[in-house]
Amino acid sequence: MDNKPVSILITGGAGFIGSNFIPYLLEKYPCYAVVNIDKITYAGNLDNLREAENNNRYRFIKGDICNRELLKLLFNEYDIRGVIHFAAESHVDNSIIGPDVFIQTNVYGTFTVLDVAREYWMQGPGRYRPGYEKCRFHHISTDEVYGSLGETGFFSEDTPYAPNSPYSASKASADMIVKSYYHTYG
């Protein structure tokens, strides 16, 4: 029996959430190997991943999720079977000062990761490459796609989208693209 760990691509793994998630995943699930692609913007910090550095199931790749050729190479090289997509420009205030990079990374970057996964895993709409049926794409959204709350109240997944900042609009756009891939390609 082949006990080789299954490779998962984690995007933005040097950020706040990803750098906590990666050591947790590596420790809890020895059946997975992690390939972490991160551009190391001001928000990324490899110091937070020291405990993963020497793990032979962990690889770090400094790169941009908008780089299609690099992503294709990683899918082929590591035979990626799952994606957990954290990478984003994530600070609302920055999106007000400089929205451009939010559209680049959050919209175009999400599309690129998603489309490379589709190309690698699928033969056509609803048809997986044989052996790739269990591959999954996990996209991380934000509650801010639902707009702003007052002092009280809460959102649910049925709340209509109402993004109010370039950040939340870029995340809402990414959500729509992911949803369209789910419905179009499965």
Ligand X SMILES: NC(=O)c1ccc[n+]([C@@H]2O[C@H](COP(=O)([O-])OP(=O)(O)OC[C@H]3O[C@@H](n4cnc5c(N)ncnc54)[C@H](O)[C@@H]3O)[C@@H](O)[C@H]2O)c1
Residues sharing a CB contact under 8 Å with residue 57, sequence separation 6 or more, in sequence order: 5, 26, 30, 32, 33, 34
Stretch that binds ligand X, among 14-22, 27-35, 75-83, 117-125 (CB under 6 A): 14-22
64 catalytic? Reply is: no
Residue 144 designated active-site: yes
Which residue lies nearest ligand X, judged by its C-beta? 15
Cβ atoms < 10 Å from Cβ of 138: 12
User: Which spans in 32-128 are helix H?
Assistant: 50-53, 68-78, 92-97, 100-102, 110-121
Supply the DSSP symbol for 104: I
Segment contacting ligand X by CB under 6 A, of 62-70, 124-132, 147-155, 157-165: 62-70
> Closest approach of Cβ 171 to ligand X, in Å?
6
> 126: phi > 0 → left, psi -120 to 50 → alpha, else beta; which?
left
Per-residue string for binding with ligand X, 110-139, x by CB under 6 A?
Answer: ------------------------------
Residues 65-104, one symbol each (x = binds ligand X by CB under 6 A, - = not), give xx-------------------xxxxx--------------
Instruction: State the catalytic residues.
Output: 143-144, 167
